Amino acid sequence: MISVSNVSMRYGAKVLFDEVSTSFTPGKRYGLTGPNGAGKSTFMNLLTGELDPQKGSVVRPRKLGVLSQDQFAYDQHRVLDTVIMGNKRLWAALVERDEIYAKAEMTDADGMKLGELEGVVGEEDGYTAEADAAILLQGLDIPQECHERKMGELQGGQKVRVLLAQALFGHPQALLLDEPTNHLDLDSIHWLKSFLNDYEGVLIVISHDRHFLNGICTHIADIDYETIITYTGTYDDMVVAKTQIRSQIEGQNAQREKKIAQLNDFIARFSAGTRSSQVQSRRKEVERLQVTELAKSNIQRPFLKFEQKRPSGKHILEVEGVTKSYGETEVIRSFTASVSRGERIALMGRNGAGKTTLLNALLANAPTVSETELRKTSGYHGPFVSGGKVIWGHEAAVGFFAQDHRALIQPGMKVLEWLHQWDPSASTEEIRGLLGQMLFPRDDADKRTDVLSGGEAARLLFCKLMLQKPNVLVLDEPTNHLDLESINALNIALQRYQGTVLLVTHDEDLIDEVATRIWHFEGSHVITDFKGAYEEYEAALV
């Protein structure tokens, strides 16, 4: 069990949570939710012991599995060793044991110590540690040929998956996972979901993936109103319960206010007359009926609406035998497809299968997307297409959200100034209004673009797309850095959008509720083109 008693955290005048007492029990799986800035990561750091509470105490079990946020901390270590380090007691015993064995001569004391260490290794399943670590790595799509490499040789997304395996390793009594689905493809997310549903300890997870939370959580610990309230059920259950409770309190307050107004009217009319005893009783009634004070919610919901300056022609895109290789490595082979106006296509498949490569090939000669933008976001300087043709239709206007979306924002400019260049005819107030829709406070219009957080940069890119009003949206991992409210707003906006969408995402709800067509990258250069929704595609696979 993890127990939190009277914990408070504030930064200056901002209160994150005040006098919070709660507990997290084994066998239950908790989602830790709340909008960006509510204090989720701060609370998680309190639970792990990385941060001390300003007031109160936290009691935690000895064996914690924690998802490390430092991708570079293990660069000099072998991948398998990095995973095994998740069991600190075992790793310390293995290191000390190897140091003793490396001695030219061992003393009797060394022999005694070795016996103790071998006992620890046995207790912690150290004799199968490498095999157990390898199983976790393979489930998270880290191939066997990478297991002996140094961490520094891996790409960023692979490092994150190794660190996730580290957190899961060694049968921890509690698992504390901050955004574990970042950099995971859908197959890896499904594997992780299955693993966590079988886990018997205390699980606490922060995630902006609604489908993932609904698939694993038995409870939701929601940070809002300067406290933490735990709801039974999934994320969607919490949203319903929270809304109902709030509405109920607001309704009770409205009735009380009406009754108080009637009583005060009686008191005002008869306080100087002969009915003093009745006036006094009504004064007591007013005191009893005091309205419940409602704390202000931290939740802010952006408003996204994608419009078109003008519709495109009926046939928006023709792809004829497109091939792309990097040196001797062929990634896409002879892909052919025809895209009609209004289709919403989800590009799915494992990381590294070629989804972004195909998008870049399609965008290489796309109207309204410059080669400079494409080179900045991809970091690639060769040809984007090795063979075949990409033909964009009449009146096509493409809006692009890159996976490395920060590269699209020129540093050293004011936010308002950067946004205004995409529609010089827009008034300052119109642009300020757009920024307000995406939750930028009025003063943030003068903020420098190079100090924006990941979430702010993403929201600024959406402002740009709303200002440009393209009739084709090409979105590569747009939900990275967005909170649940922003992802839900994006989901609704894409469903209502009348133009054409090409979307790479690992958010299953987004695919399920937005896509009308699937391009599934299955490896060995095979791309399945399925004309239908994701639910229909899954049913066809059975």
Of the pLDDT bands very low, low, confident and very high (cuts 50, 70, 90), residue 248 is low
Q: Give, in order, the Cα–Cα distances in Å from 371 to each of 47, 320, 366, 440, 502.
A: 47, 21, 9, 30, 19
Is residue 470, in this structure, part of any structural domain at all?
A: yes
> What pLDDT does residue 292 have?
54
Q: Give, in order, the Cα–Cα distances in Å from 484 to each of 11, 121, 237, 495, 509.
A: 24, 42, 15, 17, 11
User: Which residue type does 475 have?
Assistant: L
Is the pLDDT reported for residue 82 higher than 70?
yes
Both 332 and 378 in one domain: the answer is yes
Is the pLDDT reported for residue 252 higher than 70?
no
Answer whether 58's CB lies under 8 Å from 49's CB: yes
Please write the tens of the pLDDT for every residue from 478-529. Answer: 998 888 888 999 999 999 999 999 999 999 999 999 999 999 998 778 899 9
- DSSP structure string for 313-376: -SEEEEEEEEEEEETTEEEEEEEEEEEETT-EEEEEESTTSSHHHHHHHHHTT-TT--HHHHHH
| CB neighbour burial string for 139-175, b if at least 16 within 10 angstroms, e if fewer | bbbbeeebbeeebeebeeebbbbbbbbbbbbbebbbb
CA distance 449 to 456: 9
Is residue 61, in this structure, part of any structural domain at all?
A: no
Supply 214's token pair: 């609904």
Both 283 and 320 in one domain: the answer is no
Both 406 and 443 in one domain: the answer is yes
Where is 502: in which H helix or E strand?
A: strand 500-504
Average pLDDT over the chain reads 88
Both 385 and 485 in one domain: the answer is yes
Sign of CA dihedral 184, 187, 193, 196: negative
Sign of CA dihedral 446, 450, 451, 452: positive
Burial class from Cβ neighbours inside 10 Å (0-12, 13-18, 19+) for residue 474 reads buried
Least Cα distance to 457 among 473, 480, 476 occurs for 480
Highest mean pLDDT among 65-74, 220-229, 411-420: 411-420
Both 377 and 489 in one domain: the answer is yes
Is residue 10, in this structure, part of any structural domain at all?
A: no
> What pLDDT does residue 280 have?
76
> What pLDDT does residue 37 have?
73
| SS3 category, 138 | helix
Is residue 331, in this structure, part of any structural domain at all?
A: yes
Reported pTM:
0.78
Q: Give, in order, the Cα–Cα distances in Å from 166 to each of 232, 310, 382.
A: 29, 51, 37
Q: Which domain holds residue 439?
A: 315-541
> What pLDDT does residue 32 have?
95
CA distance 195 to 203: 11
Supply 91's token pair: 């790793």
Both 280 and 360 in one domain: the answer is no
Strand order in the sheet with 472-476: 398-401, 472-476, 500-504, 344-349, 517-521, 527-530
Both 407 and 353 in one domain: the answer is yes
Q: Once rounded to an integer, what is the mean pLDDT over residues 446-451?
A: 90
| SS3 category, 140 | coil
Where is 16: in which H helix or E strand?
A: strand 14-24
Both 418 and 500 in one domain: the answer is yes
Number of domains in the chain: 2
The CATH number given to whatever domain includes residue 520 is: 3.40.50.300
> What pLDDT does residue 249 have?
64
Both 279 and 419 in one domain: the answer is no
> What pLDDT does residue 296 have?
58
Strand order in the sheet with 227-232: 64-66, 174-178, 202-206, 29-33, 219-224, 227-232
Is residue 270, in this structure, part of any structural domain at all?
A: yes
Least Cα distance to 61 among 216, 163, 200 occurs for 200
Is residue 320, in this structure, part of any structural domain at all?
A: yes
Both 427 and 502 in one domain: the answer is yes
Is residue 13, in this structure, part of any structural domain at all?
A: no
Is residue 502, in this structure, part of any structural domain at all?
A: yes
Backbone angles phi and psi of 265, in degrees to 5: -65, -40
> What pLDDT does residue 298 have?
62
| CB neighbour burial string for 394-430, b if at least 16 within 10 angstroms, e if fewer | eebbbbbbbbebbbbbeeebebbebbbeebeeeeeee
The β-bridge partners of 134 are none
Both 340 and 375 in one domain: the answer is yes
CA distance 444 to 37: 16
Both 398 and 273 in one domain: the answer is no
Is the pLDDT reported for residue 261 higher than 90?
no
Q: Once rounded to an integer, what is the mean pLDDT over residues 438-458?
A: 89
Backbone angles phi and psi of 316, in degrees to 5: -85, -30
